[in-house]
Amino acid sequence: MDIIRAKMNSDEQMCCDFCKVPVFDYHRHCPRCLYDLCLDCCRDIRRSQTNVVRGEYAESKGPVVETNKDSASDRARLEPSAASVNDKLFPQPIDANDIGIRSLFPTWRVNNDGSITCGPHEAGGCGSSKLVLRRIFKINWIGKLVKSSQEMVNGCKAHDLENGCSSCNDSRRLDSIGRHNFGLSKCSDSDGIDGNSVYSSVLENLKYEGIVHFRKHWINGEPVIIRNAFEPSLSSSWDPLSIWRGIQEIMDEKLDENAIVKAVDCSNQSEVHIKLNQFIKGYSDGHKGEDGKLMMLKLKDWPPVSVLEEFLLCQRPEFIVNFPLVDFIHSKWGFLNLAAKLPPDALQSEVGLKLLIAYGRQQQPGKSDSVTNLMVKMGDVVHMLMHRAEMRYLCPKSLQPERPERIANGMAVHVNAHAPVQNLNLDMGEQSPEHTVSKSWSPSVGSSAELLSSSHSEQPKTNGVERSQPGALWDVFRRQDVPMLNKYLASNWEELTNNSQAMLSVKHPIYDQAVYLREHHKRVLKDQYGIEPRTFEQHIGEAVFIPAGCPYQVKNLQSTVQLALDFLSPESLRESARMGQEIRCLPNHHNAKLKMLEVPHN
């Protein structure tokens, strides 16, 4: 069929005008008012008219229609046929993820010829013109993909994977050969719940044994830890200042160290603005807010993805080459990364490289911890701990509210970078005992020399006890725990969010990323709901692989630099497609819709 291609810029993302999810390729379009409707919404409209059109037009469980007949009826049937293929691959109850278009707009119906009229005025459409099928990518890109796949697997030998790893199921063998051979480690407090162990392997063993053992765990949706992914002594080149200087070297224009960047305040998950040099200084020294309290900040969207990719290619090429399981994760050359198979102009915001720089500390003062709230992703993700630093600005007094005169004396730096910052040229001889800093610093807080001293003074030792100190604490739930987890979140939403006015507005609160489960919360989950997470620490040079659909949360035990890569493995495709249908039914303003992968239409 000659389907017209939509005109779009390479940096433009099309979204459905009704459910607001990103449109991947095929969709229906109104020539009159330019209204765009995704195929899932079209499917819902047709399903709502099942009693009217049954027997006359193909329903979602009808046979696939031949597309070589260029007739009006075949054009009308093309869309439900696409839904048929989707339902056969990923079976689910028909009404499990239906937005309820019929109840919202009863007049929005299927025409007698099988076409769909543009949405009514209340839905943002014109309500008169017929929607026509459109595409975004080239008509033959799937054919090329199939041919490339056939050429790639030609001559390859397939391995049948058993259900789980038999060598890891025997708890006696787990204890006896765990870290010496397969590297299996039990999670803390895992007694009484089956399957709460984490497969952990050394990178060299993985290269020698191949990915078969890894896949036996990965295909079951289990997290995996790869140790010794790089030499810990090399972590000194990954402190924030070294990264900033490396980026300066590859940029045509010199970066301003006083540039304003965005950060997230972990105490309330709000967005704040801070000067880049102040954030880098606070990475190892700590950073106080206007109230005099130590802040826990996470840098947001820095450096940009394009800059980070160039930085890695020019300044750190050995890390990408030696990264574990590169065939799974590489955004361009990973032949097992399904996201790498998309056309070059496909926009997938949650796929690719990210650098996550955040403050952290061992103390547990409450909600001021540096944490990544409980979340779940449609795709797979790997986090490698590149650098850690212990905050020196950690004495008992510094954790208490400061007196107003302390703030006025320049001990605190305003979060609002546009507000005046007083007394930045600190005299080291007149500092209070609370502000313990290196005497080798230069007088200027904003200078590169001071930042260098600040960032490199807390490097991990390659030998000795300090090297073994963890940088982050992970809690990872199983996919099958999600229903109970959602039930617990919904029942205790006000307590978990510390807000008596908080209203739960979604069916799946796990997508809100609004809570961090502490120890007493996890005890309740274990005792009353029968679920508990896999809990483990992450050290320098360890890569943590989290499958799609596994909820997880992270607490920084020190300030850390994590290199994160989002990808989509073949083993996670089914789970990702299921989650896509759930996210589509969230409220239109929900942040999860902006981050979703267009898996169901792939």
Distance CA 302, CA 310 (A): 13
The count of other CB atoms within 10 Å of the CB of residue 228 is 18
**pTM, 2 dp:** 0.77
| Residue bearing the bigger pLDDT, 485 or 143 | 485
82 φ/ψ sector (left φ>0, alpha ψ -120 to 50, else beta):
alpha
Q: What is the arithmetic mean of pLDDT over 320-338?
A: 80
The pLDDT of residue 562: 95
Tokens 């130590």 label which residue?
294
Q: How confident is the model at residue 195 (pLDDT cuts 50, 70, 90)?
A: low
- Quick one: DSSP state of residue 492? T
Question: Are residues 106 and 308 in contact, defined by beta-carbon separation less than 8 angstroms?
Answer: no
Question: Are residues 546 and 223 in contact, defined by beta-carbon separation less than 8 angstroms?
Answer: yes
Please name which of 8, 73, 71, 72 lies closest in space to residue 34, comparing C-alpha atoms.
8
CA angle 170, 472, 534 (to 5 degrees): 30
Distance CA 257, CA 445 (A): 11
Cα-Cα-Cα-Cα dihedral sign, residues 323, 329, 331, 334: positive
Per-residue pLDDT tens over the stretch 114-162: 999 999 999 999 999 999 999 998 888 888 888 888 887 786 766 665 5
Distance CA 59, CA 62 (A): 5
End-to-end C-alpha distance for the chain, whole angstroms = 19
Distance CA 242, CA 445 (A): 17
Distance CA 272, CA 561 (A): 19
Question: Are residues 26 and 39 in contact, defined by beta-carbon separation less than 8 angstroms?
Answer: yes
Cβ partners under 8 Å of residue 157, min gap 6: none
Per-residue pLDDT tens over the stretch 50-79: 644 444 333 333 333 333 333 344 444 444
Distance CA 414, CA 290 (A): 5
The pLDDT of residue 165: 65
For the ranges 258-267, 411-420, 535-544, 548-557, which has the lowest average pLDDT?
411-420
Q: What is the arithmetic mean of pLDDT over 84-90?
A: 38
Q: For residue 352, list its beta bridge partners.
A: 566
The count of other CB atoms within 10 Å of the CB of residue 476 is 22
Question: Are residues 484 and 315 in contact, defined by beta-carbon separation less than 8 angstroms?
Answer: no
Q: How confident is the model at residue 397 (pLDDT cuts 50, 70, 90)?
A: very low
> What are the DSSP calls for 67-130, one per residue?
SS--SHHHHHHHHHHHHHHHHHHS---TTTT---HHHH-TT--B-TTS-BBPPPGGGTS-SSSB
Whether the per-residue pLDDT at 364 is higher than 60: the answer is no
Q: For residue 535, list its beta bridge partners.
A: 475
Q: In this structure, what token pair is assigned to residue 124?
A: 């943002």
Whether the per-residue pLDDT at 80 is higher than 60: the answer is no
| Residue bearing the bigger pLDDT, 381 or 232 | 381
Cβ partners under 8 Å of residue 160, min gap 6: none
Distance of CA 557 to the CA centre of its chain: 20
Q: How confident is the model at residue 87 (pLDDT cuts 50, 70, 90)?
A: very low
Distance CA 602, CA 596 (A): 13
| Residue bearing the bigger pLDDT, 504 or 206 | 206
Three-state SS at 514: coil
The pLDDT of residue 428: 30
Distance CA 125, CA 533 (A): 46
Whether the per-residue pLDDT at 354 is higher than 80: the answer is yes
Axis-axis angle for helices 240-250, 276-285 (nearest 10): 150
For the ranges 252-261, 471-480, 537-546, which has the lowest average pLDDT?
252-261
Q: In this structure, what token pair is assigned to residue 581?
A: 């249908």
Please report the domains of the chain, with CATH numbers, ordered by start residue: 1-51+98-152 (no CATH), 225-391+470-595 (2.60.120.650)
Cβ partners under 8 Å of residue 413, min gap 6: 278, 282, 287, 288, 421, 424
- Which residue type does 117 have? T
Tokens 């900040």 label which residue?
297
Per-residue pLDDT tens over the stretch 277-321: 999 999 999 998 888 888 999 999 899 888 888 898 888 877 776
Q: Tell how strand 543-546 and strand 297-300 pair up.
A: unpaired
